[in-house]
């Protein structure tokens, strides 16, 4: 943690920004251990390994998901993914990098950016090269959580803040960030409308919410439902929203949205096999302008009917 972040964090309880910082240890990069004392309500928040713990106790849903992360790390078998899951993960990473390039006009240098549900922080570490960045997650693991940041910052000569908090109760002042980015994590919120309203609040005027790889469940989406149920049994809050539910939530939060299918949508469709594989291979044989036109045409119908994922650029009104 660096002192600059004191300029825009809030106490998650009294919603005031009046902290007293006590340093206990630091290195040449940041404060590694210490305490933040809210001088309004006297709540104390710890700093360990550079991570700011801006909460006292998470709700039961978040606690359950934290426990699921811990179990998954301890259980070696759960970390052994099937071939199709590995392919799906690689396609998601490819989509993320492609969408960042496609929207490069958003990423002019010097932005204030926060990633919600940052996991192992690989995405925010890419953005930290040119921006002031914050990673927020409930998971602090050194395998797939906020503590991975130590390795990333050391190896890449970068820095970004890490905050352990719930995305439903963002401990930041209003209008603090130019961009909020979320990669396949917003659907883990147990209260989507509340989370979107919090995002709206912390976005600066004209700010943007960038969503990548968010899943959608369609009317004929049996595989999507089964996958969500299996994750829920493990303890993860894996919500599956329809496109209609996503759109209504954006509108209710006062956000203007534009939805995109992944650039590598044909590779994603091909993974489903059967008629989807035939469709994907056939479309690749057509001229590029026909392929692009068909993909644009099927964007909304495909997300309404089948399971899939979408990207979005969402603006604060």
Structure tokens at 97: 């990098």
Neighbours of 7 (CB within 10 A): 9
Beta strands 177-183 and 112-116: pairing type?
A: parallel
Q: How far apart are the first and last CA of the chain?
A: 32
Strand order in the sheet with 112-116: 19-26, 31-38, 44-48, 51-53, 161-164, 132-137, 112-116, 177-183, 203-216, 308-316, 255-260
Task: Write down the residue that tokens 């059967």 correspond to.
Answer: 274
Rg (CA), the chain: 20
Question: What's this model's pTM, rounded to 2 decimal places?
Answer: 0.91
Structural domains of the chain in order of their starting residue, each with its CATH number:
1-56 (no CATH), 57-316 (3.40.50.150)
Tens digits of pLDDT across the chain (317 residues): 999 999 999 999 999 999 999 999 999 999 999 999 999 999 999 999 999 999 988 888 888 888 888 887 777 555 556 677 788 888 899 999 999 998 887 788 889 999 999 999 999 999 999 999 999 999 999 988 999 999 999 888 999 999 999 999 999 999 999 999 999 999 999 899 999 999 999 999 999 999 999 999 888 777 777 777 888 888 888 888 999 999 999 999 999 999 998 988 877 777 777 777 776 777 777 887 777 777 778 777 878 887 889 999 999 87
């Amino acid at each position: 943690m660096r002192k600059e972040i004191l300029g825009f964090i809030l106490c998650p309880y009294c919603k005031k920004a009046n902290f007293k910082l006590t340093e206990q240890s630091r290195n040449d990069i940041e404060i590694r251990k210490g305490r933040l004392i809210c001088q309004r309500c006297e709540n104390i928040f710890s700093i360990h390994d550079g991570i700011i713990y801006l909460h006292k106790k998470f709700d039961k849903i978040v606690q359950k998901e934290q426990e699921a992360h811990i179990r998954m790390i301890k259980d070696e078998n759960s970390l052994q993914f099937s071939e199709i899951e590995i392919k799906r993960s690689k396609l998601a990473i490819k989509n993320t990098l492609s969408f960042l390039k496609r929207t490069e006009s958003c990423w002019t240098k010097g932005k204030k950016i926060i990633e919600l549900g940052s996991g192992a922080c690989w995405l925010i570490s890419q953005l930290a090269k040119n921006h002031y960045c914050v990673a927020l997650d409930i998971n602090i693991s050194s395998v797939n959580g906020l503590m991975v940041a130590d390795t990333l910052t050391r190896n890449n000569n970068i820095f970004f803040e890490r905050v352990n908090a719930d995305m439903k109760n963002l401990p930041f002042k209003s209008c603090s960030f130019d961009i909020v980015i979320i990669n396949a994590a917003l659907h883990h919120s147990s209260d989507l409308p509340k989370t979107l309203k919090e995002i709206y609040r912390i976005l600066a005027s004209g700010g943007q919410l960038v969503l990548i790889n968010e899943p959608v469940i369609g009317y004929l989406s049996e595989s999507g439902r089964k996958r969500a149920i299996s994750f829920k049994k493990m303890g993860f809050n894996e919500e599956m929203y329809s496109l209609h539910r996503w759109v209504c939530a954006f509108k209710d939060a006062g956000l203007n949205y534009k939805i995109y299918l992944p650039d590598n949508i044909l590779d994603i469709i091909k993974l489903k096999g059967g008629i989807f594989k035939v469709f994907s291979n056939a479309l690749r044989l057509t001229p590029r302008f026909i392929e692009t036109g068909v993909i644009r045409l099927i964007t909304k119908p495909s997300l309404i009917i089948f399971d899939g994922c979408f990207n979005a650029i969402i603006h604060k009104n």
